Structure 1
Amino acid sequence: MGPLKGVKVIDMTTVLMGPYATQMLGDYGADVIKVENLDGDVTRLIGPTRHPGMGPVFLNTNRNKRSVALDLKKPGGRDALLRLIQSADVLIYNVRPQAMARLQLGYDVVSDINPRLIYTGVFGFGQDGPYAAKPAYDDLIQGATALPALMAQTGDGVPRYVPNALVDRIVGLTAVGAICASLVHRDRTGHGQRLDIPMFETMAGFVMGDHMGGLTYEPPLDKGGYARHLSRDRRPYKTSDGYICVIVYNDKQWASFFQATGRDDLRSNPVFSSFAGRATNIDTVYAELARIFETRTTAEWIDLLTTADIPVMPMHDLESILQDPHLVSTGFFPVVDHPSEGRIRSMKASARWSETPVETMRLAPRLNEHGSDVLKEAGFSAEEIASLVRGGATLAALNSTTE
């Protein structure tokens, strides 16, 4: 199942950025082998849990993977990983490259073992600049790419991070695309390659693509920034009984809005009557919309705007989104039976293929749940696996007293 069926991925990543990317590869059909240390991915510990080591962040970022626990600082653990790499198509890690080199797992080492391997690093900074060895986290990269400064401009002047691991997920998505492109190249040429996806550069392009503005030109025409995005009234609009998300954008939508609301006075106002006028006076336009939307209930506005074909959506919270009629209809949040956690709410892959449909084959694994199977597939005998357990390079198989 899935367009990546037959692709084997060695996933050495932890926390969110890398695991999010490899979950998508698994969703698309790849065989993802999650290599964890003997304590497991730290996200196993985050959030409310029914059982230790199976927290919601982990459950929602590690489906369609198999788990094997290896201590890569022990010779036996490192050697086991190298044997797994021999038959892999992709290796992905999210520590700094310097840490991979200390483990003697740099590209120069693994490419000799498997020249067809796509050796993928998702980490903080490009390796040809002064930040190469710096650690990086989502919050740091948000700050370094101006997101808190932009948030301050649109609110009360206080810089704030976006309340989402935005950087980790965007860089993870970027990694998925880059890996798939590298697999196409490998299939055409027979050659693997090293692939670096730095967080800082990825997000600098992501943010500045919107906000470069007059800084695009040399000399600059202004101080940058996309005026519509930075308007303080670009926000969910307060209605008489709640909030609503509306965008009245092009001339056709504005004409429909004037007619539906009976605001012919705005139709003849140059501030509202043309795209150029609205763009130049966006703060005035959004402030007037905010006043208009307070005059009716949310339900009244949704009915009126939907009839007028003006883009409108409800403003959900974390609970109400689970009951959204579209997501309910498409089955986006299926409740499934996890082997150890019981009934849990999962999420479907959003992409759809007509010829290679995807489905969840495995829910997030317990630590080392598939360790014995993965090692046997790599050619390890039962005695070799038992020796790795005795040497502290891996854990005993689940529900086993012999390994």
Structure 2
Amino acid sequence: MSAATGPEATGPLKGIRVLDMTAVVLGPFCTQTLGDWGAEVIKIEPPTGDIVRASGLFRTRGMAAVFMGLNRNKRSLAVDLKSEEGKEVLRRLIPTVDVLVTNVRPAGMRRLGFGPEECRKLNPKMVFAVATGFGQDGPHRARPAFDEIIQAASGLADVVGEAEGEPRFVPSLVADKITGMALLSAVLGALLHRERTGEAQTVEVPMLETLTAFVSVEHLGGMAFDPPIGEPGYKRLRHRKPARTKDGWITLLPYSSANWVAFFTAAGHADLIEELHLRDPVQRNANIDKVYEALRRVALERTTAEWLQLCEEQDVPATAFTKIGDLPKHPHLEAVQMFGLHEHPTEGRVRIARPPTRFEKTPANIRSHAPRLGEHTAEVLGELGFGEAEIAAMAEKRVIRTA
């Protein structure tokens, strides 16, 4: 189904129109959520397409699983913005939208002729939201940035690899997705300000600063004070590891003093309560190495299922480990229908994780599949007043691409 023929938007952003000039993961993660929440999203792509279209597994080249996971509820307009005809398309499109979201580097947008100042002349009421690698008031402002670059520079890789004595990356695009969520929040904040005052603004969300703030919440540690009163880091997290059981693995996470006392009592090791100072959080944290060592030793005494039952009875946080391939069969995720099967016109049946946020009055919904490259080019150009002959001429010159 296309955006024009699918179900209507029901989310809280219905009526908001978004110009999506983002690519890869960070920006599309943000704009897909805007679309899930009801906004109309027009995705600008070069005639060669978003590079993530060919990233990873696919049935049809250009429709990779990663791309489909980031670009539902969007229309694809494939146009060469370096051409004068392509620039004219953008000049007509900008006055029709509420928000422009981009992760093109600011210098690149200015070279195209569509920096914040130029866009404001075309649409004074449009929010201009840009994700950058590094804040534009710093010396690294012109550097390119990708997920691993930011994991490394923000201290996250250092924290993840500390136990092994060498930096390690989180094997997920967390820098992109966390910054994407921050970008989403920034767009909503700017839209709320415009709603209240009528004033639009430019919003910048830099990856390094966003991830640094994210990591430093707990990992500044003693450096949160000046002069420092201890080392950086959050010692307790260093010791949180999967625990072996008789037949597998489990995450045991007694948290409060009551949790620790209840767990060791029910486990038959009440003698450790006083020995490890489990009732006093300050003494417990000071002794955390021995506490977690004891927890892992005790975990070997029962099976994973036995520990889960005990922890449920004692209201102690715990869970087994889920393999990625088993996620659709996780009992909770299955019960809440987290994954659904959808028919894609070219890719056949595809599995999609639904929008996770629940709105009581204005539910998010999936209205359209991830688009083929240029699937909606002619449709959008027609809405902007381009005639059939003009559209055909632009296609002939390869200024645009249609599906």
Please say whether Structure 1 and Structure 2 have the same fold, judged by a TM-score greater than 0.5. yes
**1:247-281 deviation per Cα after TM superposition (whole angstroms, max 9, x unaligned):** 10101212211221111101222532321121111
Q: 1:194 aligns with which of 183, 196, 202?
A: 202
For the residue of structure 2 that corresponds to 1:334, the secondary structure is: strand
CA distance in 2, matches of 1:348, 1:299: 29
- The answer to whether 1:262 aligns with 2:271 is no
CA distance in 2, matches of 1:292, 1:250: 18
8 Å Cα contact 1:266-1:273 kept in structure 2: no
Q: 2:39 aligns with which of 1, 26, 30?
A: 30
User: What is the one-letter code of the residue matched to 2:100?
Assistant: L
User: What is the one-letter code of the residue matched to 1:211?
Assistant: H
8 Å Cα contact 2:276-2:290 kept in structure 1: no
8 Å Cα contact 2:17-2:99 kept in structure 1: yes
- The answer to whether 1:75 aligns with 2:84 is yes
- Cα-Cα RMSD: 1.1
CA distance in 2, matches of 1:267, 1:21: 47
Partner of 1:401: none
CA distance in 2, matches of 1:314, 1:320: 12
Partner of 1:107: 116
Partner of 2:254: 248
Q: 1:175 aligns with which of 172, 180, 183?
A: 183
- The answer to whether 1:137 aligns with 2:143 is no
Ranges in structure 1 where 5+ consecutive residues have no aligned partner = 399-403
User: What is the one-letter code of the residue matched to 1:202?
Assistant: T
4+ residue segments displaced more than 6 Å: none
CA distance in 2, matches of 1:162, 1:297: 29
- The answer to whether 1:49 aligns with 2:58 is yes
CA distance in 2, matches of 1:389, 1:153: 54
CA distance in 2, matches of 1:271, 1:243: 26
Q: 2:371 aligns with which of 348, 365, 371?
A: 365
CA distance in 2, matches of 1:7, 1:299: 48
**1:44-79 deviation per Cα after TM superposition (whole angstroms, max 9, x unaligned):** 101221111100000101111110101000011111
Structure 1 residues 218-237: aligned runs within 5 Å: 218-231=226-239, 234-237=240-243
- The answer to whether 1:161 aligns with 2:176 is no
CA distance in 1, matches of 2:394, 2:173: 36
Q: 2:353 aligns with which of 347, 364, 368?
A: 347
CA distance in 2, matches of 1:372, 1:314: 50
Q: 1:378 aligns with which of 369, 374, 384?
A: 384
For the residue of structure 2 that corresponds to 1:77, the secondary structure is: helix
- The answer to whether 1:288 aligns with 2:294 is yes
- Does 263-272 or 44-53 show the bigger shift? 263-272
CA distance in 2, matches of 1:376, 1:98: 31
Partner of 2:3: none
For the residue of structure 1 that corresponds to 2:34, the secondary structure is: helix
For the residue of structure 2 that corresponds to 1:337, the secondary structure is: strand
8 Å Cα contact 2:261-2:270 kept in structure 1: no
8 Å Cα contact 1:91-1:117 kept in structure 2: yes
Q: 1:124 aligns with which of 105, 111, 133?
A: 133
CA distance in 1, matches of 2:263, 2:65: 43
- The answer to whether 1:98 aligns with 2:107 is yes
8 Å Cα contact 1:63-1:362 kept in structure 2: yes
CA distance in 2, matches of 1:161, 1:272: 33
CA distance in 1, matches of 2:290, 2:91: 62
User: What is the one-letter code of the residue matched to 2:118?
Assistant: V
TM-score of the superposed pair, with normalisation by structure 1 = 0.96
Q: 1:10 aligns with which of 12, 16, 19?
A: 19
8 Å Cα contact 1:45-1:53 kept in structure 2: yes
- The answer to whether 1:238 aligns with 2:244 is yes
**1:176-201 deviation per Cα after TM superposition (whole angstroms, max 9, x unaligned):** 11100100111122221111000011
CA distance in 2, matches of 1:380, 1:189: 34
8 Å Cα contact 1:271-1:277 kept in structure 2: yes
CA distance in 2, matches of 1:341, 1:17: 24
How much does 1:152 deviate? 2.4
**1:280-328 deviation per Cα after TM superposition (whole angstroms, max 9, x unaligned):** 1111111110111111111111111111111111211111222100000
User: What is the one-letter code of the residue matched to 2:209?
Assistant: E
User: What is the one-letter code of the residue matched to 2:207?
Assistant: M
8 Å Cα contact 1:255-1:267 kept in structure 2: yes
**1:173-232 deviation per Cα after TM superposition (whole angstroms, max 9, x unaligned):** 00111100100111122221111000011111110111111111111112211111122x
How much does 1:335 deviate? 1.3
CA distance in 1, matches of 2:149, 2:140: 13
CA distance in 1, matches of 2:306, 2:341: 33
User: What is the one-letter code of the residue matched to 2:312?
Assistant: T
TM-score of the superposed pair, with normalisation by structure 2 = 0.96
Aligned sequence identity (%): 41
